[in-house]
Structure 1
Amino acid sequence: MKSYKARGVVLHTLKYGDSSMVVYLLTDVGGRRSYMVQGVRSTRGRGSKLALFQPMFAVEFEGLESPRRQMDSFREIRSGAVLRSVPFDVRKSTIALFMAEVLYRLVRESEPNGPLFDFVWGSVGALDAMEEGVANFHLWFLANLSRFLGFYPGNAYTAGAFFDIREGLYTKTPPPHAGYMSGEHARTLDDFIRCDVRCLGEIGLNRRQRVGFLDALLVYYGYHLDAIRAVQSVKILQEVF
């Protein structure tokens, strides 16, 4: 079997049999890929590896391609980054769960996408390091993820503009259809697109505003990618934030 070295971010896992699992990763070498991990749930030998496969955990590994199987396997795997807060902070772990499910539902390509992978990998580190503005992180992530999914805003924001969801453009007047963001949400979208992730604490939103803007973003995503409607962790996110 051919081997290769790669980095990946954990998106989803499925139990397989009594002691094995299927792990879905976003990888730098082949987009989204699935891997069979045998014996990972066993109390003997390799049980400690289970801790690596949490939502949005970054890993480095040596993979094995099998021409007879649809899924690859691991020869070696280890942590790709030491996460000091995500596993222990309920706010950050909730956001990580949401990010992982969004990527699992929306990213299907099995081809390398360097810019997308670098954005996701960097987002994991940014979330872990963040001290202020955590409640805004999922909004920043969704607003900027659109750049890599093909429907990023196509023009610059101007004061008082609306945002046409169908066309992906800021407009001076409301479009002649219901698919647009209000002036408030259009301004917030621009704030998150222009904001450095380290400065999210400077965007002052209350709970009502965060929930409203998240709903607007989900409508925006839903128009372009219907699979966003299957993301179940939105409900948990709304309870926490």
Structure 2
Amino acid sequence: MLHKTRGIVLSYFRYRETSIIVRVYTEEFGLQSYLVNGVRSAKSKTNRIAFFQPLTLLDMVVYYKPDKDLHRLSEVKINYPFQHIPFDIAKSSLALFVSEMLTKTLKEEASNLTLYHFLEDSVRYLEEAEADYENFHIAFLLKLAFFLGFGPSNAREFEGQLQEQKYPFLPDENTEKALNTFLRQRLGAPVKVSRQTRAELLDALVAFYRIHIDSLGEIKSLAVLREVLS
């Protein structure tokens, strides 16, 4: 049966010679996988692979059956064309990191409108921000943790959970203040932190996620992000 839904591309992998399987977090059905045939073919008349880059916002008409793990697309178009993310090294690195974290953490195959709208608003913020978005990934991961069921209520709780696992995170007063601002204020609220503090917070956040998600594994985009933001 055909359904209309919006979606956010998380990742894709190659399937056979010319096809891909793409993971999309959809507005109507939560996390879904779609087989897209011929997208990598030299005979393809359009560069449809561009539709499936990290965090691309899509309008889709999809075939959906509740008992299937792999679905098909009937129609797809870009809902919100990017003008900056693919062409700005900092933004594209942030998008790649965020999409990898979402791929490894989102498992729910059911509609969650609040989560979907948070993700869409976050992508739009990253695309539209003209400055002061270097802390985007820090604030995003702290807020995403609440949707995943393990968001800390304040900096002290965050610090305490890490220390219980013997992770060496000892923030000073300014870092604690920054953490509390990230937790309580809107995404994009201005927070002044040094590059070193930002790097320490990023490593602590990945460790925090590993406490709660055993299957997190290696975050391949992390090294690139560290290099770009250093």
TM-score by length of 2: 0.89
Distance change in 2, residues 1:46/1:16 (3 Å): farther
Q: Does 1:219 align with 2:218?
A: no
Which letter does structure 2 place at the counterpart of 1:85? H
Which letter does structure 2 place at the counterpart of 1:7? R
The residue aligned with 1:137 is 136
Distance 2:112 2:65 in 1: 22
Is the contact between residue 136 and residue 188 of structure 2 (CA under 8 Å) also seen in structure 1?
no
C-alpha deviation, 1:189, in angstroms: 1.7
**Which region of structure 1 is more displaced relative to structure 2, 219-228 or 98-107?**
219-228
Helix, strand or coil at the partner of 2:202: helix
Distance 1:187 1:138 in 2: 17
Count of residues in Structure 1 that have an aligned counterpart in Structure 2: 227
The residue aligned with 1:197 is 187
Distance 1:186 1:208 in 2: 14
Distance change in 2, residues 1:117/1:165 (3 Å): farther
Distance change in 2, residues 1:68/1:221 (3 Å): closer
Q: In the TM superposition, what whole-angstrom CA distance separates every residue of 1:50-91 from its partner, at most 9, and x where no partner exists?
A: 111101111010001368963111110000112111111010
Distance 1:43 1:194 in 2: 49
Is the contact between residue 59 and residue 81 of structure 1 (CA under 8 Å) also seen in structure 2?
yes
Which letter does structure 1 place at the counterpart of 2:64? E
Distance change in 2, residues 1:43/1:162 (3 Å): closer
Distance change in 2, residues 1:113/1:162 (3 Å): closer
Is the contact between residue 163 and residue 182 of structure 1 (CA under 8 Å) also seen in structure 2?
no
Q: In the TM superposition, what whole-angstrom CA distance separates every residue of 1:15-66 from its partner, at most 9, and x where no partner exists?
A: 1111111011011111111000011112334542111110111101000136
Distance 2:25 2:176 in 1: 30
| Structure 1: gaps of 5 or more residues | 169-174
C-alpha deviation, 1:217, in angstroms: 1.1
Deviant stretches of 4+, over 4 Å: 66-69
Which letter does structure 1 place at the counterpart of 2:111? P
The residue aligned with 1:94 is 93
C-alpha deviation, 1:145, in angstroms: 0.8
Map 1:15-54 → 2, pairs under 5 A: 15-54=14-53
The residue aligned with 1:72 is 71
Is the contact between residue 64 and residue 75 of structure 1 (CA under 8 Å) also seen in structure 2?
yes
Map 1:77-156 → 2, pairs under 5 A: 77-154=76-153
Distance change in 2, residues 1:232/1:12 (3 Å): same
C-alpha deviation, 1:140, in angstroms: 1.1
Which letter does structure 1 place at the counterpart of 2:207? V
The residue aligned with 2:216 is 228
| Structure 2: gaps of 5 or more residues | none
C-alpha deviation, 1:131, in angstroms: 1.2
C-alpha deviation, 1:147, in angstroms: 1.2
Question: Looking at CA atoms only, which structure, 1 or 2, has the larger radius of gyration?
Answer: 1
Is the contact between residue 9 and residue 57 of structure 2 (CA under 8 Å) also seen in structure 1?
yes
C-alpha deviation, 1:229, in angstroms: 3.3
Distance change in 2, residues 1:16/1:47 (3 Å): farther
Distance change in 2, residues 1:177/1:5 (3 Å): closer
Is the contact between residue 165 and residue 179 of structure 1 (CA under 8 Å) also seen in structure 2?
no
C-alpha deviation, 1:204, in angstroms: 1.5
